[in-house]
Amino acid sequence: MPYATTVNGARLYFEDSGGEDPVVVFSHGNLMDHDMWAPQVEALSSEFRCVTWDERLHGATEDDGRIYSYWDSADDLIGLLDALGAQRATLVGHSQGGFLSMRAALRAPERVNALVLVDTASVAWPPEALEQMRGMSEGLRVAGPEAVAPVLLGMLLGKPEIHDEWLARWKAQPRERLADAVTVLTGVDDITDRLGEITVPTFVVHGEADQPIPHALGAMLQSKIPGADELLTVPGAGHTPNLTHPGQVNPQLAQFLRRHA
């Protein structure tokens, strides 16, 4: 199994479609893993070197289990680029993957060709969202994923035919790891006042019916990032449009990557 073994004390699991530049690195959302990008890798790997990975407290990555920040995750991503021998890459991030991709672009702008931000935001959570997440974390820790799955799967995916697959993935992880992953999510800081520093070409994708991160927050990214000249609203999609509506996302994503990656 491929690991980047020297990144901030963690062994980051990744999958690499191979080939030469341009490199596109896909970062997943909270409680997801590298496989959430399977529709994009299948569609794009003939043109681009597609790299997917599991972030700390997720999937097959091996880490110390400590709570971390999304700035730490940005450093993980930059370290992964080093391990891949990639001087520059396009960063595609969903939800928390977008949190860390934006922070990587702020931390090391010279390493980033372009950004794709899928159902993500630059703000901290409002109090009511934090209360819900803390309840979700406690439910995972005490009762396991089955206890929160009916609500959580609907919010994250909203496509019943794939719910069982992702529930099985959660059940394969320790309860404490899932709960801690949600705890990390509650700690996101507000970087809205720094969005003007992100000048690389940026493509914003957002599900029209996203509940955890409402569409207005994606539209705000498009308005405040100087390089964000495109916003794709996916009709009928919830929080994970790349996975649930790939037929609507992939063609425009491919066009953007051909122009800017």
Determine the Cα angle at 27 with ends 131 and 202, to 5°.
100
Tell me, rounded to whole angstroms, the distance of Cα 243 from its chain centroid: 12
Determine the Cα angle at 29 with ends 25 and 114, to 5°.
35
Q: How many CB atoms lie within 10 A of CB 197?
A: 13
Q: What is the pLDDT of residues 19-58, one digit of tens each?
A: 878 999 999 999 999 999 999 999 999 999 999 999 999 9
Q: What is the pLDDT of residue 1?
A: 65
Q: What is the pLDDT of residue 241?
A: 98
Task: State residue 4 phi and psi, 5-degree precision.
Answer: -90, 110
* pTM recorded for the entire structure: 0.97
Q: What is the pLDDT of residue 217?
A: 98
Q: What is the pLDDT of residue 22?
A: 95
DSSP label of 21: S
Q: What is the pLDDT of residue 8?
A: 73
Q: Which are the contacts of 51, defined by CB distance < 8 A and separation ≥ 6?
A: 14, 15, 16, 17, 23, 24, 25, 26, 80, 84, 89
Residues in the chain with pLDDT values less than 70: 1, 6
Q: What whole-number distance in Å separates Cα of residue 84 and Cα of residue 199?
A: 24
Q: What is the pLDDT of residue 99?
A: 98
Q: What whole-number distance in Å separates Cα of residue 39 and Cα of residue 36?
A: 8
Q: What is the pLDDT of residue 6?
A: 65
Q: What is the pLDDT of residue 20?
A: 79
Answer left, alpha or beta for residue 174, where phi above 0 means left and psi between -120 and 50 means alpha.
beta
Within 13 Å, how many C-alpha atoms sit on residue 215's CB side? 14
Structure tokens at 261: 């990656």
Domains and CATH numbers, the chain: 3-124+190-260 (3.40.50.1820)
